[in-house]
Amino acid sequence: MADQCTTCIGRPGTIRNPQRRRELLGVDANGRYDEGHTVCHATLDGNPDSLPAAVCAWIAQHPQAAAHSLALRMAAVTGIEYISAPGAAGDDASG
């Protein structure tokens, strides 16, 4: 995603449980980041805007999580296509 959705799980105050926040960032019990990523909830199957699945902008912009994400490293090599969720900052609403 090009930017965080208005309902992004990474926005301050959305996840109050620190353990869940670490899990979503891909941090294991030893404090190491895994190779994963979190899919943006606005792009899950059946989303009303027919957006393709995308990595959450919170993860993609996180300095440690992004650097360790295999999906983002592969996209950096093959080309990253940024999409904006409807209603997100920077969305021009023109589709």
DSSP secondary structure string for all residues of 42-86: GGSTT-TT-PPP-B-HHHHT-HHHHHH-HHHHHHHHH-------T
| Statement: residue 93 has pLDDT above 50 | no
Q: Tell if the pTM clears 0.85, that is, is over it.
A: no
Tokens of 68: 């360790």
| pLDDT band at 89; cut points 50, 70, 90 | low
* Residue-averaged pLDDT of the chain: 85
